[in-house]
Amino acid sequence: MKDIHYISSERLEISTIRDIIFFDRKVELSEESVEKILKCRAYLDEKINTGETAIYGINTGFGSLYNVKISKDKLVKLQENLVMSHACGIGENVPKPIVKLMLFLKIQSLSYGHSGVQLETVQRLVDFYNNDILPVVYTQGSLGASGDLAPLAHLALPLLGKGEVNYDGKICATAEVMDAFGWSPIVLKSKEGLALLNGTQFMSAYGIHLLLESYKLSYLADLIGSISLEAFDGRIEPFNALVHLVRPHKGQLKTAERIRGFLEGSELIVQTKAHVQDPYSFRCMPQVHGATKDTLEFVKKTFLTEINAVTDNPNIFVGDDEIISGGNFHGQPLALALDYLKIAMAELGNISERRTYQLVSGLRGLPMFLVDNPGLNSGFMIPQYTAASIVSANKQLASPASIDSIVSSNGQEDHVSMGANAAVQAYTLVENVKRILAIELLNGSQALFFRGALRSSEMIEGFLKAYRSQIGFVKEDEILHDLMQNSIKFITELSVENELIFD
């Protein structure tokens, strides 16, 4: 198995990035990428040295200052000033795994040879990535339109020996770490600051991270929902392939097939039932979970297009002898996709909480609140409250950020995507869905203890054996916060390596 991933023009897939993260692979620039970077920089240097034409961001000011011409002897200072003045992030620190993805995606975007950066600049970003030197980046400050300006400025500051980085388990001044590695600050050339700051790598890194999490949670929603179905003494008929072939949405078909697979060989699911129908939260899992799967496909397509693209400005086309100022930094496609992701994942949490509610309601032979001696014991009454409060919070977070826009840069940037806000909201929302599913799993596992000697499928029994080694049967009241936290930890640490979860 490869220990190194070579940055090239080969298309990135979601499974490729998952493997890079999972196996903690180092990255290197391919010969192809090195050649493209060098060729583009040489072209730009020649253009500046032989021409007097104003080129946005290269020998002019930025934003509404686009008409201010900058003399050649000030071009280096212009780029350094740009990075420092735009480092205006605030709020919480961006989680380190997402910062590392930002570095990776910025390297990828610059490697295509349309940005005019020095090879030394990209190589230093590679060095940061490979040595886990992660710039301190903040969650607030990007409008998601002229690129993720503020977050990417903080990502770029360490190139200048400025700002702070996470290294070796602590936050420290970049200058200290660079001294330890014997590195000198990069002297940015014309256009480089703009290439580093224009781009969508903040939104994209969040999006890719959340896709990986969401596919895992989608898989677990099917599995945990199957456990709850059996605990509730539910019926298998609604998952029959015939039902779904006459309404063949891909996600719906996939969910029904997966749940049938999870339950294959179960004694519980085939026992005689006293009821002819189940509530929607059980019966309609294929339709609801499936719609989320179809949404994930759309979101995946959007983000894979983005991370295989050039998103800074202006773009340099050496073969066509063109330097064109456009708008590839605008985050509208990502903002809409992130809002759609929020809605879809919120629904997984919504229907999960409804299954939890059914399990604690004293129906179908289960004791009230899934505990012996209800009344003396409150049992699992309040975890459902917790899940309900999180579901309500998710409804608020799922409100679309992309419908908002605020004018900036003195009217030059008069429509923005707010995709960065959508990204941060989506991160919180997806973490919330994990908590809701963990609460359902806690309830489902407890409920199955009351189903007697009949066994579930081999797959579910194996899964529950691992789970119950950490969270056992609750005989009488205890501090359920601790069990909920252990359930969340179990889901978080669970590795789902099956490639089919991305289908």
Taking 70 as the threshold, does the pLDDT of residue 61 lie above it? no
pLDDT for 66: 54
Alpha carbon 12 to its chain centroid, in Å, reads 16
Exposed e or buried b for every residue in 366-387, given b needs 16+ CB within 10 A? bbbbbbeebeebebbbebbebb
Active site (catalytic) residues: 56
Taking 90 as the threshold, does the pLDDT of residue 29 lie above it? yes
Report residue 62's pLDDT band, with 50, 70 and 90 as the boundaries. low
Taking 60 as the threshold, does the pLDDT of residue 154 lie above it? yes
Phi, psi of 38 (to 5 degrees): -65, -45
pLDDT for 359: 98
Query: What does the pLDDT average to over 190-195?
Result: 91
Q: How does the average pLDDT of the chain come out, rounded? A: 93
Taking 60 as the threshold, does the pLDDT of residue 65 lie above it? no
Taking 80 as the threshold, does the pLDDT of residue 1 lie above it? no
pTM: 0.94
**Separation CA 256–CA 39 (nearest Å):** 52
pLDDT for 497: 67
Query: What does the pLDDT average to over 214-243?
Result: 97
Identify the residue with better confidence: 119 or 68.
Answer: 119
pLDDT for 415: 87
**Separation CA 157–CA 145 (nearest Å):** 20
Query: What does the pLDDT average to over 156-170?
Result: 97
Fold entry, domain 4-199: Fumarase C; Chain B, domain 1 (1.10.275)
Spatial contact of 27 and 7, defined as CB atoms under 8 Å apart: yes
Return the axis-axis angle of helices 381-397 and 332-359, rounded to nearest 10°: 160
Phi, psi of 458 (to 5 degrees): -60, -40
pLDDT for 63: 57
Q: Which range has the worst mean pLDDT, 209-218, 371-380, 490-499?
A: 490-499
Taking 90 as the threshold, does the pLDDT of residue 241 lie above it? yes
Tokens (6 digits) for 357? 């509610």
SS (H, E, C) 326-362: CCCCCCHHHHHHHHHHHHHHHHHHHHHHHHHHHHCEC
Tokens (6 digits) for 265? 């060989």
Query: What does the pLDDT average to over 303-332?
Result: 94
3-state DSSP call for residue 271? Answer: coil
Among 484, 323, 331, 346, smallest CA distance to 417 is for 331
Taking 90 as the threshold, does the pLDDT of residue 500 lie above it? no
4-199 matches 206-502 in fold? no
Report residue 2's pLDDT band, with 50, 70 and 90 as the boundaries. low
Tokens (6 digits) for 53? 């034409």
The CATH class of 206-502 is: mainly alpha
| Cα 136 to Cα 81, 155, 172, distances in angstroms | 19, 7, 9
Name the helix (H) or strand (E) containing 138.
strand 138-140
Instruction: Label residue 85 exposed, middle or buried (CB < 10 Å: 0-12, 13-18, 19+).
Output: exposed
**Separation CA 216–CA 250 (nearest Å):** 18
Among 188, 204, 12, smallest CA distance to 115 is for 188
Among 375, 428, 363, 361, smallest CA distance to 398 is for 428
Report residue 412's pLDDT band, with 50, 70 and 90 as the boundaries. confident
Query: What does the pLDDT average to over 284-305?
Result: 98
**Separation CA 343–CA 340 (nearest Å):** 5
In percent, the amount of the chain with pLDDT more than 90 equals 84
The residue extents of the domains of the chain are 4-199, 206-502
DSSP secondary structure of 384-434: HHHHHHHHHHHHHHTS-STT----BGGGTB-----HHHHHHHHHHHHHHHH
Query: What does the pLDDT average to over 316-331?
Result: 93
Report residue 315's pLDDT band, with 50, 70 and 90 as the boundaries. very high
